[in-house]
């Protein structure tokens, strides 16, 4: 009966595809919200214990890149199994630890808590704006992918160089560029889900999480540079 219905009603397949896309989007949002919990725990632990304060310069860079790429590889390998979600949440805890050093620096300002909350609110605003745009834009954005990748690669290389140079102007330029590129990446990644280009909610969550973390980190850096008030 079902096969006959599919044959006589061509809209059945379209409806099923829409339902599947909505399911992926819904699961992605739920997992993305859940992923923020270990991120906050990791950041709190790092700030409270100071265990990441020694991760400066090349050592910090090696730990971050090794841990991040190791987790990303593991997530892609386990995304179709029951281990995928725990591995992703482990990655978000690790990212919270890595963020704790910058958060601790900003909290050292007299208005530090306000700056952190402003960065969080700004990131949430960017995400909701991109989510709204992804639901109304009809054109195909798949062509943006290669340009965004080049932009992200340039930002990563610039960030690595600046770790050793320590330029405030360089950090400002990288942060502004990162906000632009990863905000656009949010739109691109959300549109892929809406259009059915991404069907695995763990991969979708990973992509959006990285976009969000990069925007938050960059906003926090700019707020610390321009708005930090010392006692």
**pLDDT tens per residue, range 209-221:** 999 999 999 999 9
Mean per-residue pLDDT for 37-41? 96
What average pLDDT does this structure show over 167-171? 87
CA angle 96, 229, 222 (to 5 degrees): 50
pLDDT band at residue 186 using 50, 70 and 90 as cut-offs: very high
What's the sign of the alpha-carbon dihedral 125, 131, 136, 138? positive
| Res 43 pLDDT > 90 | yes
Band of the pLDDT at 98, cuts 50, 70, 90?
A: very high
Model confidence over 139-160: pLDDT tens digits?
Answer: 888 888 899 999 999 999 998 8
What is the model's pLDDT at position 119?
A: 95
In this predicted structure, what is the pLDDT of residue 21?
A: 80
Residue 127 has pLDDT above 90, yes or no: yes
Across the range 107-112, mean pLDDT stands at: 88
pLDDT over threshold 90, residue 19: no
Both tokens assigned to 198: 């991404």
Query: What does pTM read for this prediction?
Result: 0.88
Averaged pLDDT for residues 49-64: 78
**Cβ 216 vs Cβ 100: under 8 Å:** no
pLDDT at 17 over 60: yes
Residues 58 and 220: their CA atoms lie apart, in Å, by 22
Listed by start position, the domains of the chain span 2-227
Residues 6+ apart with CB under 8 A from 174: 155, 158, 159, 162, 218
């Amino acid at each position: 009966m079902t096969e006959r219905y599919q044959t006589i009603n061509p809209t059945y397949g379209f409806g099923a595809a829409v339902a599947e896309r909505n399911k992926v989007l819904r699961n992605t949002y739920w997992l993305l919200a859940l992923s923020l919990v270990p991120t906050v725990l990791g950041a709190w632990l790092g700030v409270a214990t100071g265990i990441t304060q020694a991760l400066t310069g090349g050592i910090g860079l090696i730990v971050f890149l090794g841990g991040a790429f190791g987790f990303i590889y593991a997530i892609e390998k386990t995304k179709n199994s029951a281990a995928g979600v725990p591995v992703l949440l482990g990655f978000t805890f690790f990212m919270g630890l890595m963020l704790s050093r910058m958060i601790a620096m900003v909290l050292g300002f007299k208005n530090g808590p306000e700056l952190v909350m402003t960065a969080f609110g700004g990131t949430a605003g960017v995400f909701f704006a991109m989510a709204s745009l992804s639901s109304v834009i009809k054109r195909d954005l798949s062509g943006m992918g290669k340009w965004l990748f080049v932009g992200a690669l340039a930002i990563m290389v610039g960030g690595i160089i600046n770790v050793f140079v320590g330029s405030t102007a360089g950090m400002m330029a990288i942060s502004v560029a990162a906000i632009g590129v990863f905000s656009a990446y949010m739109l691109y990644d959300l549109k892929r889900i809406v259009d059915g280009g991404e069907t695995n909610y763990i991969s979708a969550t990973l992509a959006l999480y990285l976009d969000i973390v990069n925007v938050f980190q960059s906003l926090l850096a700019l707020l610390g540079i321009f708005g930090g008030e010392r006692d």
